[in-house]
């Protein structure tokens, strides 16, 4: 999940000499964890399942604290959304992982290879060591606990840096972990910008980052200095394409969940709509009808989550104003025409039609309840438009014809995709979640999370009585080169 407008000190390779000489304040903790990992050895199935059980119970114990903290950090957030997305989603992932972990941990037999006969091979999954996890503010608990579940399942130790934008939730996460686990196994460090910079520069065995693409680049640069492998989960502009023959009303009903949850502050929220030229007004009216029914009041609606802080609130408002000034048509949905009280960071759902490419809403990730609309003449034009831009984290396509739907999936590249739905692919724990290009590196969740945070060790088992190595020692027969050349040509 991403933060579309971060204010973070650049992580630079050309830092002043006094900064280079400065000892990283978290290095001692990392070294303590690495030593504990070596001393304890590779954990077994029971130890890992017990740890996941402890985490799930801690989530239940601290659920009220999480709800309260998130509420305070956002100013207001629907408690229903917090329970579902922060607590239950994490507990569900832990339960699925526990149920399947035994099978995941078993060595997998590799298919036979003619070039290695008569030997056989196995893939053995081993922990990497100490994993760093950098969470994101839009789902401040889930985006720490979800990767942690995969890290624990793979047998690693972990250090977590929750987001500084939601400090109250970060403190609850710190208390939850400290009261549940030994610091040498799992630890949480909190702090603002410099803390995040220091954390990203630690020599972890793997680093998981969720957030903005630009900061993701800097995290990757910092990790590269230590040859630390990374998993980056970022965002981008996820398109929602409605085919010409698909019901606008039905599409709107299914897009609503993706754009309304957390007031659109989700990395895989539908970012903009693409539909057949001439259907813009029909879409705007259908969206207005659906939103008015869902949110009949705006000013004091307990189901509406606020924009997380004033800076982001002003950023989203500026996207709307920029489009208005450049000639777009603004459809703001405020059924009772209420005035939003000062201090309440509520933005009524807004559809923007007659968009042009110079508008910021068509260039920047929205991360709010604003939905620009772009039209196409042919579906090929829509596909080309998507492919010419940075690869999105998600793509949504509404199409009745399965063959045409599959064609869209084959011809576009995105981190994930849904057909006739939005966002729910992240809830499918047996599928990987991740991006491509600007939207991310690597993927996790379920088995893919276990694999992402494991080292896949290749192990070859040779016969005791025979080894082809005995035939490959010098001096080579004179005819060997000719035979090898002929075999090369035969295989060409």
Active site members: 233, 267
DSSP H helical ranges for 62-203: 63-74, 79-82, 89-105, 142-153, 167-180, 193-200
Exposure on the CB side of residue 48, measured as CA atoms within 13 A? 28
**Residue among 305, 369, 294 at smallest CA distance from 78:** 305
Q: How many CB atoms lie within 10 A of CB 108?
A: 12
The answer to whether the beta carbons of residues 309 and 317 sit under 8 Å apart is: no
Dist CA 471 CA 480 (whole Å): 11
CA 312 to chain centre: 20
Q: What are the two backbone dihedrals, phi and then psi, of residue 26, each rounded to the nearest 5 degrees?
A: -105, 0
Handedness of CA 64, 70, 75, 79 (dihedral sign): negative
Dist CA 407 CA 391 (whole Å): 17
Q: How many CB atoms lie within 10 A of CB 257?
A: 15
Give the three-state DSSP class for 372. strand
The answer to whether the beta carbons of residues 177 and 402 sit under 8 Å apart is: no
Exposure on the CB side of residue 469, measured as CA atoms within 13 A? 6
Task: Give 326: exposed, middle or buried? Use CB within 10 Å, 0-12, 13-18, 19+.
Answer: middle
The answer to whether the beta carbons of residues 259 and 270 sit under 8 Å apart is: yes
Q: If residue 231 lies in a helix (H) or strand (E), which one and from where to where? A: strand 230-233
Q: Which whole-number Å values give the CA distances from 434 to 26, 147, 234, 336, 394, in the listed order?
A: 28, 12, 8, 40, 9
Dist CA 384 CA 435 (whole Å): 19
DSSP H helical ranges for 365-453: 379-387, 402-411, 446-452
Read off the DSSP letter of residue 403: H
The answer to whether the beta carbons of residues 158 and 177 sit under 8 Å apart is: no
């Amino acid at each position: 999940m991403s933060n579309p407008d971060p204010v973070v000190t650049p992580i630079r390779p050309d830092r002043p000499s006094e900064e280079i000489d400065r000892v990283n304040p978290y290095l001692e903790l990392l070294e303590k964890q690495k030593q504990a990992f070596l001393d304890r050895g590779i954990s077994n199935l029971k130890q890992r399942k017990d740890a996941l059980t402890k985490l799930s119970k801690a989530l239940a114990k601290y659920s009220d604290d999480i709800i309260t903290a998130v509420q305070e950090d956002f100013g207001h957030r629907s408690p229903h959304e917090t329970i579902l997305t922060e607590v239950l989603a994490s507990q569900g992932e832990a339960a699925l992982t526990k149920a399947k972990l035994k099978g995941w941990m078993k060595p997998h037999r590799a298919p036979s290879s003619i070039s290695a006969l008569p030997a056989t091979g196995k893939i053995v999954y081993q922990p990497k060591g100490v994993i760093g996890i950098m969470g994101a503010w839009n789902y401040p608990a889930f985006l720490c606990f979800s990767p942690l579940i995969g890290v624990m399942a793979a047998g690693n130790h972990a250090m977590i840096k929750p987001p500084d934008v939601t400090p109250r939730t970060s403190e609850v996460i710190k208390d939850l972990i400290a009261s549940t686990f030994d610091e040498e196994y799992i630890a949480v460090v909190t702090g603002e910008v410099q803390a995040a910079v220091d954390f990203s520069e630690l020599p972890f065995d793997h680093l998981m980052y969720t957030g903005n693409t630009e900061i993701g680049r800097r995290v990757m640069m910092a990790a590269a200095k230590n040859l630390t492998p990374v998993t980056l989960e970022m965002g981008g502009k996820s398109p929602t394409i409605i085919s010409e023959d698909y019901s606008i009303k039905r599409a709107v009903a299914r897009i609503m969940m993706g754009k309304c949850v957390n007031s659109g502050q989700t990395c895989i929220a539908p970012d903009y709509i693409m539909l057949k030229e001439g259907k813009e007004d029909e879409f705007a009216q259908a969206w207005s009808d659906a939103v008015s029914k869902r949110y009949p009041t705006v000013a004091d609606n307990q189901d509406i989550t606020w924009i997380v802080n004033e800076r982001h609130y002003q950023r989203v408002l500026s996207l709307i104003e920029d489009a208005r000034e450049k000639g777009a048509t603004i459809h703001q949905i405020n059924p009772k025409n209420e005035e939003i009280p000062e201090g309440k960071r509520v933005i009524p759902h807004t559809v923007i039609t007659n968009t042009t490419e110079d508008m910021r809403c068509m260039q920047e990730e929205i991360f709010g309840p604003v939905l620009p609309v772009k039209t196409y003449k042919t579906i090929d034009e829509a596909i080309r438009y998507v492919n010419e831009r940075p690869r999105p984290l998600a793509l949504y396509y509404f199409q009745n014809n399965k063959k045409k739907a599959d064609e869209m999936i084959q011809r576009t590249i995105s981190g994930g995709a849904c057909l006739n739905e939005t966002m729910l692919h992240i809830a499918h724990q047996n599928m990987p979640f991740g991006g491509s290009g600007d939207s991310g590196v690597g993927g996790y969740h379920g088995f893919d999370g276990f694999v992402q945070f494991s080292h896949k060790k290749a192990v070859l088992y040779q016969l005791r009585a025979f080894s082809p190595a005995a035939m490959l020692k010098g001096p080579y027969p004179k005819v060997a080169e000719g035979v090898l050349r002929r075999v090369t040509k035969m295989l060409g």
